[in-house]
């Protein structure tokens, strides 16, 4: 529990510092000097959005293939791998959620239900994911492998992909000065859509961190000889 709390707190402190540093110079720029012709502005935004779509699509495809492949066929695990993976996904999720407050204008009070949902779902996943995963050791190398939890990995892929997609379609993209996406919607609808998909991301992230906690506990038991598993 300490690692998720520390990671989230660190990410928000760093990003809040970045926001404070850049706020002063940005607020003192004369916006009239930055105006571009509408046609040029539209072309620039479209080109930027298309490049973002290509980049995000590649990331989503790689994410989906690797997560589902690992869940179905198994992967070699170590304590370091599990911890680094968990910290990485916590960092990515925190950055996306922070953008909701920084760029979209979600009220900071929403951080409370976000955290409640995250910690509640990760604990639920931790308690119940044991029956969805299985371990074995390689008879030649004695390496420990794990597989299972396909639905949790699929939920994470869907949660992350959908949040990225609405950023491109409706918001613009993460941490860009423009809040214009490919499809124009009014600000109130943008805020509502962001909150809904933020919760989907938080739910899927909580489930993933929960199963990783369970994998880490089981790995420690197996590696210390307190739990016996089959060999392949």
pLDDT tens figures, 72-102: 888 899 999 999 989 988 888 888 888 888 7
Interatomic CA distance for residues 89 and 148, integer angstroms: 19
Question: Strands, E, within 133-191: which ranges?
Answer: 133-137, 144-148
Give 188-197 pLDDT, tens digit per residue.
888 888 899 9
Rounded (10°) CA dihedral 13, 2, 77, 90: -30
Task: Look up residue 114 and give its two tokens.
Answer: 């976000």
Question: Strands, E, within the chain: which ranges?
Answer: 75-76, 133-137, 144-148
pTM of the model: 0.74
For the chain, give percent helix, strand, coil, nearest 5. 75, 5, 20
């Amino acid at each position: 529990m300490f690692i998720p709390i520390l990671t989230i707190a660190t990410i928000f402190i760093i990003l809040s510092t970045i926001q404070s540093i850049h706020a002063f110079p940005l607020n003192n720029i004369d916006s009239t000097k930055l105006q571009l012709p509408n046609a040029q502005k539209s072309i620039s935004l479209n080109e930027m959005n298309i490049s973002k779509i290509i980049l995000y699509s590649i990331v989503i495809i790689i994410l989906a293939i690797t997560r589902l492949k690992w869940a179905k066929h198994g992967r070699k695990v170590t304590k370091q791998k599990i911890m680094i993976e968990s910290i990485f996904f916590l960092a990515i999720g925190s950055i996306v959620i922070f953008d909701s407050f920084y760029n979209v204008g979600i009220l900071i009070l929403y951080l409370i239900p976000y955290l409640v949902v995250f910690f509640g779902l990760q604990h639920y996943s931790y308690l119940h994911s044991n029956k969805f995963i299985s371990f074995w050791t390689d008879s030649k190398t004695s390496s420990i492998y794990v597989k299972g939890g396909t639905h949790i990995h699929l939920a994470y892929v869907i949660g992350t992909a959908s949040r990225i997609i609405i950023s491109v379609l409706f918001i613009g993209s993460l941490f860009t000065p423009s809040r214009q996406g490919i499809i124009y919607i009014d600000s109130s609808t943008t805020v509502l859509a962001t909150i809904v998909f933020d919760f989907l991301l938080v739910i899927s992230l909580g489930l993933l961190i929960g199963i990783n906690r369970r994998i880490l506990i089981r790995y420690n038991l197996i590696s210390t000889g307190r739990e016996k598993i089959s060999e392949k």
